[in-house]
């Protein structure tokens, strides 16, 4: 971005009264299957999300990512929009099936060419590319051989990571191995609501382990190749009891914290798997996926911990009640999730910025090894395009983002080392099983024409970036 453009952007924003640290990274995030489309272009292979979305009844209205936002063809327009907003970093994911259509073998040159062009386009606009290597689009050929339930997939992932780095590693400084392995493992293999749509708790625990093992094998391979900053993105839950004085509710917190948080955080930070989590896993089958040396591999040193946050989790004990067999928390059959009072997003998620402050403080206290980057935070609302003025008013999103940025600022003020914030999402997109009915973007996408219209939240975010912080008064 030119200095003239920077001055023009800055002119829109008064001086920040709630300033973030110098060098704080302001950015946006997307994922390959949600925006790229072009599923048959450039030799791309089939992914588990292609299969899942084309299976009747799996997604809202039978929606698929076949076209999505057509970012594969329209990326110059999207990068130019980022430049207009003053975005300094862009986190995108690489589609594994574009690089290795069958999940193995040499790299597909056409697939690498696309990301090569995208990286150059970003750098040309002064935007730092942040690459996520896995955001859930496993090559279907690997799923056919066991998917993440198979140890082979972990080894394949490390090789795939090397292929991507060999092409763009000279220009990409920050690498994220996995996005939300909890979702990939437990929504995909236990609950069956995400691809590959399986309902096998034993396979879910094996998948969680092999995702971490793939991460642990990829990190030293990338570091040896010269990668500068290596990280992992998790979606830890800010879990609290419905009744803080009820021992059953406190035990419920411990269980859910284990099944979503500690199962990933503890081994990544060198503590090995928690004994209570392994005890739950044993209820569903032998732990033959865990071998000597695996936990040491998983604990490969990191430079960054990515955190995705959307809403808190409030739990209570409900003895005698049973969740459906396909619940995403195997072993939690007598625990209930409670929706606390307050406003919710279009996803039905409670809006609670204070949960983010609490979570960041907890992570800094219990896992202080590396800095934190907010790799996703955002909300879906029922956005409507005003065609007469080509405007999309979204005041609830502005208030949501403002509140959560204040929560991040509060955590920083209390000593948490948070290095940046990436809004989810740059564009409205294919929202997994929800299809196209949920809009998370700060840029509106008309799916019939592929026209992009920045929402009011995009211009608000532009001003936040330009001033380096927030105004004194919260947005309501």
Helix axes 71-85, 109-124, angle to 10 degrees: 20
Distances (CA, A) of 19 to 14, 358, 447, 465: 12, 20, 37, 10
Q: What phi, psi does 75 have (nearest 5°)?
A: -60, -35
Q: Which of 36, 121, 180, 295 is catalytic?
A: 180
CA angle at 123 for the pair 122 and 124, rounded to the nearest 5°: 90
> Is 376 labeled as catalytic in the residue annotation?
yes
Half-sphere exposure of 176 (CA within 13 A, CB side): 29
Contact 443, 425 (CB under 8 A): no
Q: How far apart are CA 406 and CA 240, in angstroms?
A: 21
Q: What phi, psi does 251 have (nearest 5°)?
A: -65, -35
| 303: Cβ contacts below 8 Å, ≥ 6 apart | 228, 229, 230, 231, 370, 371
DSSP string, 331-352: T-TTEEEE--SS-B-TTS-B--
Q: How far apart are CA 414 and CA 96, in angstroms?
A: 39
User: Where do the DSSP E strands lie in 245-334?
Assistant: 304-308, 313-317
CA angle at 92 for the pair 90 and 96, rounded to the nearest 5°: 160
> Is 473 labeled as catalytic in the residue annotation?
no
For strands 313-317 and 239-241, give the pairing. Answer: parallel
Q: How far apart are CA 398 and CA 394, in angstroms?
A: 7
Residues constituting the chain: 476
Active-site positions?
Answer: 180, 376
């Amino acid at each position: 971005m030119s200095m003239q453009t920077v001055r023009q952007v800055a002119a829109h924003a008064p001086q920040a009264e709630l300033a973030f640290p110098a060098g704080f990274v302001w950015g946006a995030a997307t994922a390959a299957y949600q925006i790229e489309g072009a599923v048959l272009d450039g030799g791309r292979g089939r992914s588990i999300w292609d299969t899942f979305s084309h299976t009747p009844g799996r997604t809202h209205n039978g929606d698929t990512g076949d076209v999505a936002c057509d970012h594969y063809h329209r990326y110059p327009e999207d990068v130019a929009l980022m430049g207009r907003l003053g975005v300094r970093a862009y986190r995108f994911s690489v589609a594994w099936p574009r690089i290795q259509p069958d999940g193995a073998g040499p790299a597909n040159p056409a697939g690498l060419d696309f990301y090569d062009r995208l990286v150059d386009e970003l750098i040309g606009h002064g935007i730092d590319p942040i690459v996520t290597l896995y955001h859930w689009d496993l090559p279907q050929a690997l799923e056919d051989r066991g998917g993440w339930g198979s140890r082979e997939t972990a080894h394949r992932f490390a090789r795939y990571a090397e292929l991507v780095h060999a092409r763009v590693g000279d220009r990409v400084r920050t690498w994220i191995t996995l996005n939300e392995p909890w979702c990939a493992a437990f929504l995909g293999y236990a609950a069956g609501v995400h691809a590959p749509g399986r309902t096998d708790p034993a396979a879910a625990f094996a998948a969680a382990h092999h995702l971490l093992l793939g991460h642990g094998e990829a990190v030293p391979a990338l570091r040896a190749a010269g990668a500068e900053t290596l990280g992992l993105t998790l979606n830890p839950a800010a879990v609290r009891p419905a009744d803080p004085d009820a021992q059953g509710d406190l035990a419920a917190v411990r269980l859910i914290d284990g099944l979503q948080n500690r199962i990933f955080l503890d081994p990544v930070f060198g503590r090995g798997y928690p004994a209570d989590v392994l005890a739950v896993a044993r209820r569903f089958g032998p732990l033959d996926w865990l071998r000597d040396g695996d936990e040491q591999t998983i604990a490969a040193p990191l430079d960054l911990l990515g955190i995705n946050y959307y809403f808190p989790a409030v739990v209570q004990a409900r003895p005698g009640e049973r969740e459906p067999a396909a619940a995403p928390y195997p072993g939690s059959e007598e625990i209930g999730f409670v929706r606390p009072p307050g406003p919710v997003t279009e996803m039905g998620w409670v809006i609670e910025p204070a949960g983010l402050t609490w979570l960041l403080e907890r992570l800094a206290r219990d896992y202080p090894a590396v800095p934190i980057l907010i790799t996703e935070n955002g909300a879906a609302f029922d956005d409507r395009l005003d065609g007469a003025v080509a405007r999309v008013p979204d005041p609830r999103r502005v208030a949501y983002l403002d509140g959560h940025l204040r929560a991040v600022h509060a955590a920083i003020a209390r000593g948490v080392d948070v290095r940046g914030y990436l809004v989810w999402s740059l564009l409205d997109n294919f929202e997994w099983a929800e299809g196209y009915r949920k809009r998370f973007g700060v840029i509106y996408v008309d799916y019939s024409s592929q026209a992009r219209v920045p929402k009011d939240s995009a211009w608000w975010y532009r001003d936040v970036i330009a001033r380096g912080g927030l105004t004194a008064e919260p947005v309501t």
